[in-house]
Chains A and B, each alone.
Chain A
């Protein structure tokens, strides 16, 4: 039964090749067997779901052209493609005397609905480097994961702790390569042997080293607080209050930011990831336990049908456990 789609495919292929003889150029590219090993369009059309295809590494933008075509075709452009989950965020970072303080809100929105009230926007990159991400949630997660893996491999190979400037350069390379298609606005902060650093990396691959920074949809309000009260070489408590107030301003003025505030304080000695640093005053407690007792739904009839299974093939593979 499973062979049907395969034979159908090969039959079609054969008929085309024999029909056209040696004129390989006449075979449309979709049916030509390709040597590179990548799947050709024929297998996609036949939907060979049982054939396991190893995923091509990296990001795949095949669907973006499909989405454009769909938008143009469906209802003459009145139907829009579904919007990706964005964090609609306020994130901020500040360099202080002994390190870096990063802060973020915890709301993830999907258009008008809050999809996640406790979203973690401060991502781990290295023991001494953390990154806040604004923009498309999936993009920031995956990009920071990629960066973290790369840096771990680098530090294992070279025996050195990664530097913040290296992380920023890798991010810049990744994002520039994808020409702005990855919607990730990142604040990269960390402490290394050269000092305390804070970098902004934009979705097109622009990098900027700054002493204080706010990004996301609530950044204008947060920037106002930071511009007013930032001082060079602040103490840790002052820096924490400043970042917390900046995120709070973003939460109050922006609909896409809200719920709790997370803080991450990075110093030479280590990292203090306080989650949540400040809980939202508007938290609702659940009124009841939303669990149904067994017997809530009455059983009317019961019908048991034993399945008759025939043992077709048995294979025993011995495992060597030395």
Chain B
């Protein structure tokens, strides 16, 4: 446990809520400041990947500090990553990763592999695992292996998967994605799959919400699709 968390624990024991500056919403010291408390996913389809997230950022589990935050961060031309966990940590890590990746691609004189991007994030997460609380899903397209999806967990584990879900809202949709995923879907099928999964998770998780951001990455380029809250598919919602 790092110094800051120790200090905060001692304050908690003495009856202080961390940072009474925003007194209406005392923060949970376990997740510092603004947390994305989110639903994120990435799915491979025939010819590309779709990476998606909700757009809610919360503080202390009871106050929505942003309804339209962007969790899909472009770390290179055809590589995106989505963030979960503490917003500050995630933003700092992605800034570092963006810099390292662009330097790497200048040195190699070619676009980086998706695996390289995921590795950079993993290195940062693993070497600072005591101090950071951020998890990522990296997805993209590269010339060597085509569309790929990688997940980097909070402790720094790196896994390659055909599809992956993450964030607090993901627990509610494991059944759905396991049942409904098919390999080699078409672009439209995959978009519908991802939208449905996000809608179901948002419907059940209180710290996920807002609009659904989806990015479709293929060899041809990158396309950003935004589905506003009222246009999300409804599943027996009155």
Contacts and interface: CB of A to CB of B under 8 A. Distances in A.
Interface of A: 64-65, 68, 71-72, 77, 80, 86, 134-136, 169, 172-173, 175-176, 179-181, 183, 185, 200, 202-208, 210, 215-217, 219-220, 256
A180 B21 contact: no
Interface stretch (B83-91, B142-150, B166-174): B83-91
Given A185-B22, A217-B23, A217-B24, A203 B69 contact: no
Contacts of A210: 66, 68
B155 interface: no
Interface string B71-99: 00000000000000011110110010000
11 contacts: A71-B10, A77-B14, A86-B20, A172-B92, A176-B91, A179-B131, A202-B34, A205-B33, A208-B66, A210-B68, A219-B22
Contacts of B18: 180
A217 B22 contact: yes
A172 to B, nearest CB: 7
A176 B128 CA distance: 14
A-B pairs with lowest CB-CB distance, top 7: A204-B33, A204-B88, A205-B88, A206-B87, A206-B88, A135-B21, A179-B4
B82 to A, nearest CB: 16
Contacts of B92: 172-173, 176, 205
B176 interface: no
Tell me if B's interface is mostly helix, strand, loop or mixed: mixed
Interface residues of B, number: 28
B7 A204 contact: no
Interface string B4-33: 100100100010001111111000000011
Contact of A180 (B23, B33, B65, B87): B33
B41 interface: no
A49 to B, nearest CB: 29
